Amino acid sequence: MVVTIKAVKRNNDASFTPGDLLDILLGKKVYVLHDKSSCEWNKSSKDFVPTSEIVFIPTN
Protein backbone atom coordinates (compact mmCIF):
# COMPACT_ATOMS: atom_id res chain seq x y z
CA MET A 1 0.00 0.00 0.00
CA VAL A 2 2.91 2.33 0.64
CA VAL A 3 4.10 1.79 -2.92
CA THR A 4 0.65 2.75 -4.18
CA ILE A 5 0.48 5.91 -2.06
CA LYS A 6 3.95 6.96 -3.24
CA ALA A 7 2.94 6.36 -6.87
CA VAL A 8 -0.27 8.40 -6.43
CA LYS A 9 1.74 11.29 -4.98
CA ARG A 10 4.42 11.03 -7.67
CA ASN A 11 1.77 11.05 -10.43
CA ASN A 12 -0.34 13.79 -8.75
CA ASP A 13 -3.39 11.58 -9.31
CA ALA A 14 -6.27 13.69 -8.00
CA SER A 15 -8.82 11.05 -9.04
CA PHE A 16 -7.46 8.49 -6.54
CA THR A 17 -9.79 8.11 -3.54
CA PRO A 18 -9.66 6.34 -0.17
CA GLY A 19 -12.15 3.90 -1.70
CA ASP A 20 -9.55 3.00 -4.31
CA LEU A 21 -7.05 2.35 -1.53
CA LEU A 22 -9.55 0.08 0.20
CA ASP A 23 -10.16 -1.80 -3.06
CA ILE A 24 -6.40 -2.31 -3.40
CA LEU A 25 -6.23 -3.61 0.17
CA LEU A 26 -9.06 -6.05 -0.56
CA GLY A 27 -7.42 -7.17 -3.81
CA LYS A 28 -10.14 -5.78 -6.09
CA LYS A 29 -7.83 -3.31 -7.88
CA VAL A 30 -4.15 -2.92 -8.72
CA TYR A 31 -2.68 0.57 -9.08
CA VAL A 32 1.03 -0.23 -9.33
CA LEU A 33 3.04 -3.43 -9.13
CA HIS A 34 5.64 -3.67 -6.35
CA ASP A 35 9.23 -4.40 -7.33
CA LYS A 36 10.45 -6.90 -4.74
CA SER A 37 14.11 -6.65 -5.73
CA SER A 38 14.76 -4.11 -2.97
CA CYS A 39 13.25 -6.52 -0.44
CA GLU A 40 15.67 -9.20 -1.61
CA TRP A 41 18.57 -6.78 -1.20
CA ASN A 42 17.49 -5.98 2.36
CA LYS A 43 17.35 -9.69 3.18
CA SER A 44 20.82 -10.36 1.80
CA SER A 45 22.36 -7.29 3.47
CA LYS A 46 21.37 -8.69 6.88
CA ASP A 47 23.87 -11.50 6.26
CA PHE A 48 26.70 -8.94 6.34
CA VAL A 49 25.64 -6.85 9.34
CA PRO A 50 23.77 -8.70 12.08
CA THR A 51 20.95 -6.67 13.59
CA SER A 52 22.52 -6.98 17.06
CA GLU A 53 25.54 -4.97 15.87
CA ILE A 54 23.54 -2.04 14.52
CA VAL A 55 23.63 0.91 16.93
CA PHE A 56 21.19 3.80 16.71
CA ILE A 57 22.58 7.12 17.90
CA PRO A 58 20.03 9.80 18.92
CA THR A 59 20.37 13.03 16.96
CA ASN A 60 19.12 15.44 19.63
pTM over 0.85: no
| Helix (H), strand (E), coil (C) string for the chain | CHHHHHHHHHHCCCCCCHHHHHHHHCCCCCCCCCCCHHHHHHHHHCCCCCHHHCCCCCCC
From first to last of its 60 residues, the chain has per-residue pLDDT tens of 788 888 889 899 999 999 998 998 888 988 887 666 656 655 665 666 555 555 556 665
